[in-house]
């Protein structure tokens, strides 16, 4: 997934890789995700390791750090959510990252408020090679609106269910009906899970869980699309979809 920003005459393309979350992935989907993540690192001009200030250098982050030690891509670290922790808490984390000798700089940022993000952008732009723009000036991502809408819903599912269903669900936008004036949109999405027990978790007791996910996703969609959104969510069981190469190839992952 690409995020694109323009700063003056310079264009910066961020490659948001899949997560690296298991040392030895077992499922085909996990293998494809980890492969795509490291491939994204190897092909980049610079790498940014983003850490949660509250979680610190947890097991997943240490796994990534060990992998980075084997690669030569210039890298920096960005400690995010600075607005949620006391400054004293970040000092040991800054020292640990600096002592690895792997990072050119360690930045303290808040994606919520934007604090520190300007310094990070300046650092990244200063180190990039000269070349032609890869995308139009007004393009923010390589995702279509339908795909971005599915990602927003999936994000809400991960936020609310990540402990119970880490990577065993996916979202597809099945229908998109827009009013002639563009001020009202109906979006139908299907949430696919692997098992009936997963479906029950997504729905929640009395449908409360799916309602909560839908409400939060709808608010973000309305903000993104600047329109009134009617979001309809359906949950279906697609057995063993994480082992089906045809399915995760649709997510842009290699088989």
**10-residue block means of pLDDT along the chain (255 residues)?**
86 79 60 68 83 86 82 89 86 91 92 91 87 86 86 90 71 92 93 89 92 95 92 90 62 58
Q: What is the pTM of this model?
A: 0.68
Domain of residue 121, CATH code: 3.40.50.300
Q: How far is Cα 145 from Cα 141, in angstroms, rounded to an integer?
A: 10
Distances (CA, A) of 10 to 5, 76, 106: 9, 20, 23
pLDDT at 42: 72
Tell me which residue of 125, 171, 127 sits closest to 148, measured CA to CA: 171
Task: Name the domain count of the chain.
Answer: 2
pLDDT at 110: 93
pLDDT at 185: 95
Whether 21 and 115 share a structural domain: yes
pLDDT at 145: 87
Rounded to 5 degrees, φ, ψ at 110 are: -130, 110
pLDDT at 20: 63
Whether 100 and 211 share a structural domain: no
Range of the structural domain that residue 101 is part of? 2-126
């Amino acid at each position: 997934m690409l995020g694109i920003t323009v700063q003056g005459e310079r264009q910066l393309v961020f490659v948001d890789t899949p997560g690296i979350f298991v040392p030895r992935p077992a499922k085909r989907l996990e293998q494809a995700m980890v492969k795509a993540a490291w491939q994204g690192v190897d092909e980049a001009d610079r790498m940014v390791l983003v850490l949660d200030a509250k979680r610190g250098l947890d097991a997943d982050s240490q796994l990534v750090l060990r992998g980075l030690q084997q690669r030569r891509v210039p890298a920096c670290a960005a400690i995010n959510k600075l607005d949620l922790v006391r400054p004293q808490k970040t000092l040991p984390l800054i020292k640990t990252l600096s002592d690895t000798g792997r990072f050119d700089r360690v930045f303290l940022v808040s994606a919520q408020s934007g604090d520190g993000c300007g310094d990070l952008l300046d650092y990244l732009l200063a180190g990039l090679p000269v070349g032609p723009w890869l995308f139009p000036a007004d393009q923010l991502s390589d995702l279509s609106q339908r795909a971005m809408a599915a990602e927003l819903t999936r994000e809400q599912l991960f936020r609310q269910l990540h402990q119970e269903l880490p990577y065993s669900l996916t979202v597809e936008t099945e229908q998109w009906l827009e009013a002639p004036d563009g001020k009202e949109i109906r979006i139908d999405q299907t949430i696919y899970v692997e098992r009936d027990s997963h479906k029950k978790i997504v729905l929640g007791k009395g449908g409360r869980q799916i309602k909560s996910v839908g409400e939060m996703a709808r608010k973000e969609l309305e903000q993104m699309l600047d329109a009134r959104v009617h979001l309809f969510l359906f949950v279906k069981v697609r057995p063993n979809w994480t082992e089906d190469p045809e399915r995760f190839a649709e997510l842009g992952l290699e088989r």
